Amino acid sequence: MPTTVVDRLTPIQRKLILIAFDVTATALSFYGALVIQYPNNPLAVSTLFHLKSFVAFTAVRIAVFFWFGLYDLVWKYASVFELGRVFRSVVVGTLAMMALQFMLGVHRVSGRVLIVDALLNLLAIGGIRFSLRLYRDYLVHLSDASPKEKESVLVIGAGDGGEMIVRELKKNPRAAYSVVGFIDDKPSMQGKIIHQVSILGTIDELPDIAEKLDVKTVIIAIPSAPGHLIRRIMNRCESANLQFKITPNLSEVLGGRLPISQVRNIAIEDLLGREVINTDIQSISAYITGSTVLVTGAGGSIGSELARQIVRFSPSQLLLLDHAETDLYHIDMEIRQLAPDLRVHPIVADVKDQVRLNYVFQSLKPTVVFHAAAYKHVPLMEMNTEEVILNNILGTRTILELAGQHKAAEFVLISTDKAVRPTSAMGATKRLCEVLCEFAQDRFPETKFTGVRFGNVLGSQGSVIPLFKQQIENGGPVTVTHPDITRYFMTIPEAVRLVIQAGALAKGGELFILDMGDPIKVVNLAKDLIHLSGFSESEIKIKFTGLRPGEKLYEELFFDKRGLLDTPNKKIFVARSTSHNLENLEPQISLLIESCYRKPSDALKEALLALAHQTLPESTISSTRTHQS
């Protein structure tokens, strides 16, 4: 932005100039009110308008302006909020003048004169200040802007998001885009004008409008747009050979990660069409603010996002625990930048190491534990059954017992949809982790133990999206295991926000299920990613490779929908508790762990799956085999 005369003034010089303007405006307003009130009586004016009255009233006005902070505001950014402050200061100043006359027993100026004076003063004081905003927004920028260097664009969406993006682009002389029109499907908006920009037509008319105006790029400015709408807009743009950008979605805006005016390329997450998640900030703050929070698996996709979101609720300490040194280093550095005043403890440790973890609990005393540490890669864990049992089951049991023994207030287990009717070693271990969480609640009633189950998260380590992107960069093919394979998908920030909210809803012993929406065909994700990368399916082929070991054709989030109960958050459900024979299962789990050191993997996996199936509700056991590919 260009430097103006006002910008070169020191703060003291600006304040003195504004005071001088205000003194002049006050004098002229007062004199104008007298002339208006007594137009045919110059003698009354000359009698009333004397030096003592002017000095007294001016002193009152300036004192009130100081009290309301009018000399501390940056007026070149003034908005309706600042105008309201000017209005209140003028009204209070007028009331103070009336009170001053009454206390002194002087009634030389009528109330009608003071009311007219207030109106004139409001116009003068407000006009002086908002002229600075006008000067900044229009005169300077119009003279400095270079329209010929800007790319003409159409903005889709004439709502709040569209208005904000147009306003920001108009204010910024160095913006790369110049908006030449709006596109909106609402019939009531057609032909209307926002910030001198007309609404030209609907999405279906987009190709014709773009061709007529010689526009090559459109900006989608609908932060809450569902995925099907974005996909429809994409199809219209591709048919007209138009480039397309998008403003951040509401979760990014509300999370403070991006301003709404920052456009970017459309990402695969935008096509999910997930609704904005409403969280109860007060209930979350009640159990996180001021607490010592431990996140296991803090270097992973879920653990690192948990850390980012937890710092927003001002814990007293944040303990980041992971066995992967490099990942832990990166999230530690990131959190220290996000919250430089927060006490952060990076802890390199293995969740199976009871001695090391006991020292952590004894010395740092975590009161809230989010357990995200787990092996999650299904095919890889089919070949490493011993390790997935030890890391997932033994590690979870160790953390659960220490949290209970040291009387942590809350423990939240991150689970997965693969725990429902498990057919893989990884899924079976996570099902047993859910059961261990129930066991812990019975053994340690002073701690609230709860599990949160959800499906795949886009962009996580091991997600199909990074793999697809790499395959596209290499020229293809993009490999999909089966044309009909479906998965539940959710963005990482969305999943974590619901996990934290579920912790606030916990009373102890619950298993929460997140609403993942409708399952999505993986092949459709692959096609979308190919198009978003600027290719067609004829250029980047899709190859079907067959289901991998332990992989299901489709996943489930619950055993029986009738067993789900609502919670205050419509995106979170709680599963009815299933009864288990604690005396029978706990020794078997211990024996399974001990067997990792002596049994071959095939026998271990068979024992693992058999034990996990014992925990399923009776009605689901017979149908489990039908879900195995």
Q: What is the pLDDT of residue 36?
A: 81
User: For residue 365, what is the DSSP state?
Assistant: -
Q: Classify residue 565 as exposed, middle or buried by CB count within 10 Å of its CB (0-12, 13-18, 19+).
A: exposed
Tens of pLDDT along 239-284?
888 888 887 654 554 444 444 456 666 667 667 655 556 667 788 8
Is there a cis peptide before residue 600, judged by omega within 30 degrees of 0? no
> Helices in 159-277 by DSSP H: which ranges?
160-171, 206-213, 227-239, 250-254
Q: Rounded distance, CA 620 to CA 415, Å?
A: 19
Q: What is the pLDDT of residue 620?
A: 47
For all residues of the chain together, what is the average pLDDT?
80
Tens of pLDDT along 501-513?
999 898 988 889 8
Q: What is the pLDDT of residue 157?
A: 86
Q: Amino acid identity, residue 324?
A: A
Q: What is the pLDDT of residue 578?
A: 60
Domains 147-266 and 281-627 share a fold: yes
Q: What is the pLDDT of residue 618?
A: 46
Specify which residues 309 forms β-bridges with. none
Q: Classify residue 317 as exposed, middle or buried by CB count within 10 Å of its CB (0-12, 13-18, 19+).
A: middle
Intervals of the chain under pLDDT 70: 1-9, 11, 41-54, 72-82, 104-109, 132-149, 172-174, 248-267, 269-270, 272-279, 459-462, 557-563, 576-583, 617-629
Q: Amino acid identity, residue 510?
A: E
Active site residue 76: no
Q: Reply yes or no on domain 147-266 having CATH 3.20.190.10.
A: no
Q: Among the options 170, 418, 448, 605, which is catalytic?
A: 418
Spatial contact of 514 and 453, defined as CB atoms under 8 Å apart = yes
> DSSP readout, 2-38?
---TTTTS-HHHHHHHHHHHHHHHHHHHHHHHHHHH-
Specify which residues 412 forms β-bridges with. 370, 450
Tens of pLDDT along 98-112?
777 777 655 566 778
List Cβ neighbours of 56 (8 Å cut-off, separation of 6 or more): 100
- Per CATH, the homologous superfamily of domain 281-627 is NAD(P)-binding Rossmann-like Domain (3.40.50.720)
Q: What is the pLDDT of residue 80?
A: 60
CB neighbours (10 Å) of residue 274? 22
Q: What is the pLDDT of residue 626?
A: 37
Q: What is the pLDDT of residue 307?
A: 95
Give the three-state DSSP class for 478: strand
Q: What is the pLDDT of residue 143?
A: 47
Q: Rounded distance, CA 280 to CA 567, Å?
A: 12
Any idea where the domains of the chain sit in the sequence?
11-144, 147-266, 281-627
Q: What is the pLDDT of residue 619?
A: 41
List Cβ neighbours of 122 (8 Å cut-off, separation of 6 or more): 86, 87, 90
Q: Rounded distance, CA 522 to CA 515, Å?
A: 19
